[in-house]
């Protein structure tokens, strides 16, 4: 498989223009490094009526070669991406990339993405996403939602036993993805943070995102449509990028007061489409009933926790023995969505290059044996030092060229 003849990168910006400019600058660098022609990379950024976005930051997008499309209203992510696609050029054999604004393409990432032989079934292609430029903490892979998995998630909000079973299932799946090093995996779902696709895929699907999803589930729906056409969703672990951890999730004032509201709207739309109106209504009613009970934050943790207290620098975990471990890091003690690292040994500490991206707040860690997936220890701490506010620069990542 070779680099596409032409690539159109589509980015939706909402209040993160500095990150978006750094994202497209890093992509442009890697396009040229991989042998792409300068004029064959198209960068289209839709600004989704960002509040308080400075003209200087928006102008930076144009200075790095992006076409800036200013929407007069907040369209949500799916409609914003579709608008970017409508402003792009390209022919049938070209490719598109749908990118979150808060990404950084590391040296060698684009070349690695297209290294493997072409698959005739390829529909979507995604790189591996990490918290940090050292590629230490991997972001979690996602599994397609079903009625059964959604019921299990609702049960986990109120039952530590149910939450522990669900967290173990997720960890087993994540470990398989995180352990991939030298070959592509075909997965049922890819992260919507960075998706690459031939334009022929969009032609078969009849378009990019379904606009009924304001945020969340648009990538899930896309993967479902891809698989329905007997195309493959492929994950390339050798292509590594940084996802600057939730810097680009805003979609507008109508959802800002309750972040879960946008999730619920999209979730119901997804289940109506793929499982029928009755299933969607039933799950929505159960979710509403669940939300009236004690929230998950009040439920006991799924493991006994060692309190590490306030931490201005990354704490060191002392594991019970030398071994092969999955270390998971989450924002709640039930590990519903956890970043992770695979460790050999008896100690682990997040590197400074990862630590600086953590937001201040409470974190939870656990160590799972990679053979049995039994928990050998769990810890909690409060990060007291501030998170980094500036995106990675090209100069910072230039020293890593050749490391991938």
User: pLDDT per residue over 74-122, tens digit each?
Assistant: 998 999 999 999 999 988 889 999 999 999 999 999 999 998 887 889 9
Model pLDDT, residue 294? 56
Assign residue 221 the CATH number of its domain. Answer: 3.90.550.10
13 lies in a domain?
A: yes
Grade residue 1 by pLDDT with cuts at 50, 70 and 90: confident
Model pLDDT, residue 293? 67
Q: How far from 164 is each of 268, 294, 301, 373, CA to CA, in Å?
A: 26, 18, 9, 11
Burial 302-340 (b: 16+ CB within 10 A, else e): bbebeeeeeeeebbebebeeeeebbbbbbbbbbbbebbb
- Is 50 exceeded by the pLDDT of residue 163? yes
Q: What is the mean pLDDT of the chain?
A: 91
42 lies in a domain?
A: yes
Residues 188 and 61 in one domain: yes
Contact in structure between 231 and 103 (CB atoms under 8 Å): no
Q: Which residue has the tokens 């707040």?
A: 361
Residues 238 and 312 in one domain: no
- The mean pLDDT value for 244-251 works out to 55
Contact in structure between 90 and 3 (CB atoms under 8 Å): no
pTM of the model: 0.92
Residues 175 and 323 in one domain: no
Q: Which two tokens stand for residue 396?
A: 């910072």
Residues 24 and 121 in one domain: yes
Residues 174 and 318 in one domain: no
270 lies in a domain?
A: no
Model pLDDT, residue 250? 43
- Is 90 exceeded by the pLDDT of residue 232? yes
Assign residue 317 the CATH number of its domain. Answer: 2.60.40.10
- Kindly give the pairing relationship between strand 122-130 and strand 95-100: unpaired
Model pLDDT, residue 256? 46
391 lies in a domain?
A: no
Residues 171 and 102 in one domain: yes
pLDDT top residue among 339 and 248 = 339
- The mean pLDDT value for 43-52 works out to 92
Q: The domain containing residue 337 runs over which residues?
A: 306-383
287 lies in a domain?
A: no
Grade residue 252 by pLDDT with cuts at 50, 70 and 90: very low
168 lies in a domain?
A: yes
61/394 Cα distance (integer angstroms): 15
Q: Give SS3 for 68.
A: strand
| Domain tally, the chain | 2
Q: What is the number of alpha carbons within 13 Å of residue 310 lying toward its C-beta?
A: 4
281 lies in a domain?
A: no
Model pLDDT, residue 292? 72
371/362 Cα distance (integer angstroms): 29
Grade residue 295 by pLDDT with cuts at 50, 70 and 90: low
Answer positive or negative: Cα dihedral of 272, 289, 332, 23.
Answer: positive
Residues 218 and 146 in one domain: yes
Model pLDDT, residue 258? 53
Residues 220 and 137 in one domain: yes
Residues 340 and 235 in one domain: no
Residues 48 and 184 in one domain: yes
269/101 Cα distance (integer angstroms): 25
């Amino acid at each position: 498989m070779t680099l596409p003849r032409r690539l159109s990168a589509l980015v939706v910006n909402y209040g993160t223009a500095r990150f978006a400019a750094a994202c497209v600058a890093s992509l442009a660098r890697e396009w040229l490094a991989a042998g792409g022609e300068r004029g064959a990379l198209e960068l289209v950024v839709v600004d989704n009526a960002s509040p308080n976005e400075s003209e200087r930051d928006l102008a930076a997008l144009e200075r790095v070669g992006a076409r800036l499309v200013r929407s007069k209203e907040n369209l949500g992510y799916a409609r914003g991406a579709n608008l970017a696609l409508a402003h792009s050029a390209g022919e049938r054999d070209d490719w598109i990339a749908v990118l979150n604004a808060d990404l950084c393409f590391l040296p060698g990432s684009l070349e690695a993405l297209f290294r493997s032989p072409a698959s005739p079934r390829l529909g979507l292609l995604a790189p591996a996403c990490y918290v940090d430029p050292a590629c230490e903490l991997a972001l979690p892979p996602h599994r397609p939602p079903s009625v059964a998995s959604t019921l299990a998630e609702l049960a986990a909000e109120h039952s530590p036993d149910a939450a522990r079973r669900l967290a173990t299932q997720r960890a087993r799946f994540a470990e398989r993805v995180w352990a991939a090093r030298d070959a592509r995996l075909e997965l049922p779902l890819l992260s919507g943070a960075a998706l690459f696709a031939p334009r022929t895929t969009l032609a078969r699907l009849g378009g990019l995102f379904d606009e009924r999803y304001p945020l969340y589930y648009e990538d899930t729906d896309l993967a479902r449509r891809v698989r329905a056409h007997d195309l493959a969703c492929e994950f390339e672990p050798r292509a590594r990028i940084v996802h600057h951890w939730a810097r680009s999730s805003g979609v507008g004032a109508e959802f800002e007061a309750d972040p879960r509201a946008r999730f619920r709207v999209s979730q119901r739309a997804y289940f109506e489409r793929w499982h029928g109106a009755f299933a969607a209504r039933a799950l929505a009613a159960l979710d509403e009933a669940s939300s009236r009970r004690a929230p998950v934050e009040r439920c006991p943790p799924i493991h006994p926790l060692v309190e590490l207290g306030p931490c201005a620098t990354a704490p060191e975990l002392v594991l019970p023995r030398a071994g092969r471990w999955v270390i998971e890091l989450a924002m709640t003690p039930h590990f519903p969505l956890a970043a992770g690292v695979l460790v050999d040994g008896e100690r682990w500490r997040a590197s400074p290059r990862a630590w600086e991206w953590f937001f201040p707040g409470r974190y939870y860690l656990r160590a799972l044996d990679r053979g049995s997936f039994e928990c050998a220890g769990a810890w909690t701490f409060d990060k007291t030092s501030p998170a980094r506010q500036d995106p990675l620069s090209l100069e910072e990542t230039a020293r890593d060229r050749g490391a991938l």
